């Protein structure tokens, strides 16, 4: 089969022929139709310090995908040949304390698809059946390929109740944009998005943000004033990892405010912990998706809301045949627009 392959611990990828992946009795073989390009994939392509510390080459990267089941192992049930599927990219051990307690997203031995084991940038992918999500209702292939990052957005957006609340979203990349759409769908009152990209701020308004702030030019408090807010934001989604984002968010929260943090900081962040204590703020780290409550929630929301489905679909800004993967990676690295999709029916 054809696959994007990192043959050695060095920058770059190659589209080459590799052996088809082997299956176990509890595994599912999937013909990959679409994949999304994630920031993780860019790190692996560049082979930066993070990639060198987390990834062992050779490897097929990629973890955001949509495909069709072509084979199931003899121990598999509830997944059938012909099913259209996405997949949970965290393979868990099943025996640590958290796994046994049903908190699989907190497994201490998690292996990442496309990071610690071969992933989805290929014509075929093999996954444990327990990681396969079957789409039982119609869905666009591009949206199916976004279920992994959409799950991050839903996990973040539903970390705290947002009905009738004022929500601040720092970082309007694809996941931040999806979180805005989810918060709007669920019933937030005012939603404010911040970024330094005019294009992404425009996309945020299209997702349902009531006000946007270019934080390179303006202060978030201007949004509060423009919207007639009197007491600060109730809920925050920190999606950027930028060193100034969390302190700025903390300074704009109402007393008792709750912050869900998905963005991974690239450097140490100076936090005024005095404000956190005296304003009784709650900070919660978000990683991946809850298995599988998040998947149930996003599947149900998309199934029952054509408006939300269309909003998520609009996140896709570029589509390339898999054979043109270099153009796709370049578009994703530009980081000014939405999500980039590779079509694996055109290799």
| Residues catalogued as catalytic | 40, 43
Nearest to 131 by CA among 18, 59, 1, 24: 24
In angstroms, the CA 136 to CA 172 distance is: 30
In angstroms, the CA 231 to CA 224 distance is: 9
- Whether 265 and 247 have beta carbons less than 8 Å apart is answered as no
- Whether 275 and 298 have beta carbons less than 8 Å apart is answered as no
In angstroms, the CA 339 to CA 316 distance is: 4
In angstroms, the CA 316 to CA 338 distance is: 5
134: CB partners within 8 A, 6+ apart? 78, 79, 83, 84, 85
Does the bond joining 20 to the residue before it have cis omega, within 30 degrees of 0?
Answer: no
Which residue spans within the chain are E strands per DSSP? 2-5, 14-17, 27-36, 64-72, 84-87, 90-91, 111-112, 124-128, 132-134, 167-170, 191-195, 211-214, 233-238, 253-261, 282-285, 316-321, 339-343
308: CB partners within 8 A, 6+ apart? 181, 182, 185, 301, 302
- Whether 58 and 81 have beta carbons less than 8 Å apart is answered as no
In angstroms, the CA 18 to CA 44 distance is: 19
Q: Tell me the CB-side half-sphere exposure of residue 69, using CA atoms within 13 A.
A: 26
Q: Is 180 exposed, middle or buried (0-12, 13-18, 19+ CB in 10 A)?
A: buried
Using CA atoms of 151, 106, 156, 187 in order, give the dihedral in degrees to the nearest 10: 90
Structural tokens at position 138: 């119609």
């Amino acid at each position: 089969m054809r696959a994007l392959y990192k043959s050695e611990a060095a920058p770059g990828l190659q589209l080459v022929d590799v052996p088809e992946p082997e299956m176990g009795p509890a595994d599912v073989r999937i013909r990959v139709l679409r994949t999304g390009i994630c920031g993780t994939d860019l790190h692996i392509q560049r082979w930066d310090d993070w990639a060198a510390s987390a990834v062992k080459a050779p490897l097929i990267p990629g973890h955001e995908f949509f495909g069709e089941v072509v084979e199931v192992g003899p121990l598999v049930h509830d997944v059938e040949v012909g099913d259209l599927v996405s997949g949970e990219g965290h393979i868990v051990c099943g025996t640590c304390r958290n796994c046994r307690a049903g908190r699989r997203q907190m497994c201490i031995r998690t292996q990442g698809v496309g990071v610690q084991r071969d992933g989805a940038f290929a014509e075929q992918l093999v996954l444990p059946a327990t990681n396969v999500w079957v789409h039982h209702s119609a869905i666009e292939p591009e949206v199916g390929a976004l279920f992994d990052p959409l799950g991050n957005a839903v996990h973040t957006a539903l970390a705290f109740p947002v009905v009738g609340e004022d929500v601040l979203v720092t970082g309007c990349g694809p996941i931040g944009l999806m979180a805005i759409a989810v918060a709007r769908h669920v019933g937030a009152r005012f939603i404010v998005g911040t970024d330094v990209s005019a294009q992404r701020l425009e996309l945020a308004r299209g997702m349902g943000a009531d006000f946007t702030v270019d934080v390179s030019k303006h202060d978030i408090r201007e949004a509060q004033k423009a919207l007639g807010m009197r007491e600060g934001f109730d809920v925050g989604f920190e999606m950027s990892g930028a060193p100034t984002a969390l302190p700025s968010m903390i300074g704009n929260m109402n007393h008792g405010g709750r912050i869900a943090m998905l963005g991974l900081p690239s450097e140490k962040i100076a936090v005024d912990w005095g404000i956190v204590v005296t304003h009784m703020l709650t900070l919660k780290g978000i990683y991946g998706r809850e298995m599988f409550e998040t998947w149930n929630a996003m599947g149900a929301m998309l199934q029952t809301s054509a408006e939300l489905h269309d909003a998520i679909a609009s996140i896709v800004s570029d589509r390339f045949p898999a054979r043109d993967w270099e153009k796709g990676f370049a578009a994703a690295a530009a980081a000014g627009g939405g999500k980039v999709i590779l079509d694996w029916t055109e290799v």
